[in-house]
């Protein structure tokens, strides 16, 4: 069950006013936004129910605070992407995408397919391109996922954490349960599962990790293989 700090209709009006402020063409109405907001909130509820942090899920209710900027950045991504996936007004999707960029300095285009379960943690300056993402993806500030000069994007496994200033560029396959430490830059190389990476390509140091993203960040019990 979702607990909101603002009612759904008021949330639609809130987004409408923000969009009208930044894009004063008189084309956005809350009636136009409401169906997409319904879908965005459904996706947000599913996502947040897997984040066992006190500001996201209290064991009974999923919590969405429109004044929590990390949460609101995630909501605006879901909203812009929902408009796109529904075959809706791409001008409206562009406005919501640009609003997210203006408010939170995060660049996630509405066509980028982030996973159903992900977490933004103060993601100022982060740019996420058209990589292939998997669930339990976590990004911090000033992170980059992008293509190389040949237009090849990375493929990220389940449970990838990108700490401040890290980047994954080009023809990379990042395994499950991988941690990219601060300022780590990976270019056209693979990272194995259950590892932590340091440094910059081609001089990446890779070490095994006993930590588990799904368990340690999302608080979900992990069943170990016999």
- Contact in structure between 173 and 161 (CB atoms under 8 Å): no
Condensed to tens digits (0 to 9), the pLDDT of residues 8-39 reads: 999 999 999 999 999 999 899 889 999 999 99
Q: What is the pLDDT of residues 126-138, one digit of tens each?
A: 999 999 999 999 9
Domain boundaries 118-216, corresponding CATH code: 2.160.10.10
- pLDDT in the model for residue 225: 46
Band (pLDDT 50/70/90 cuts) for residue 226 is: very low
Q: Is pLDDT of 122 > 50?
A: yes
**Residue 117: which of 217, 35, 188 has the closest Cα?**
217
Domain ranges for the chain = 2-104, 118-216
Q: How far apart are the first and last CA of the chain?
A: 35
Q: What is this structure's pTM?
A: 0.95
In this predicted model, which residue has the larger pLDDT, 223 or 93? 93
**CA 203 to chain centroid:** 28
What digits encode the pLDDT tens for the residues 45-68? 999 999 988 899 988 899 999 999
Which DSSP string corresponds to 104-150?
A: H--EE-TT----SSEEESS-TT-EE-S-B--SSEEE-TT-EEE--TT
């Amino acid at each position: 069950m979702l607990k909101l700090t603002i009612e759904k209709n008021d949330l639609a009006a809130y987004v409408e006013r923000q969009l009208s402020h930044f894009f004063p063409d008189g084309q956005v109405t809350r009636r136009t936004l409401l169906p997409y907001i319904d879908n965005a909130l459904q996706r947000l509820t599913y996502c947040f129910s897997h984040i066992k942090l006190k500001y996201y899920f209290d064991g009974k209710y999923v919590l969405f605070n429109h004044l929590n900027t990390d949460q609101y950045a995630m909501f605006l991504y879901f909203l812009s992407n929902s408009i796109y996936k529904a075959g809706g007004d791409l001008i409206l999707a562009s406005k919501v995408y640009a609003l997210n960029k203006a408010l939170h300095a995060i660049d996630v285009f509405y066509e980028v397919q982030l996973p159903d379960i992900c977490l933004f943690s103060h993601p100022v300056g982060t740019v996420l391109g058209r990589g292939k993402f998997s669930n339990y993806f976590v990004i911090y500030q000033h992170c980059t996922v992008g293509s190389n000069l040949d237009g090849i994007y990375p493929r990220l496994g389940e449970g990838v954490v990108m700490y401040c200033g890290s980047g994954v560029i080009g023809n990379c396959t990042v395994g499950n349960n991988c941690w990219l430490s601060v300022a780590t830059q990976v270019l056209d190389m693979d990272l194995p599962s259950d590892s932590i990476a340091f440094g910059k390509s081609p001089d990446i140091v890779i070490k095994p990790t006993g930590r588990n993203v799904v368990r340690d960040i999302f608080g979900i019990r992990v069943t170990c293989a016999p």
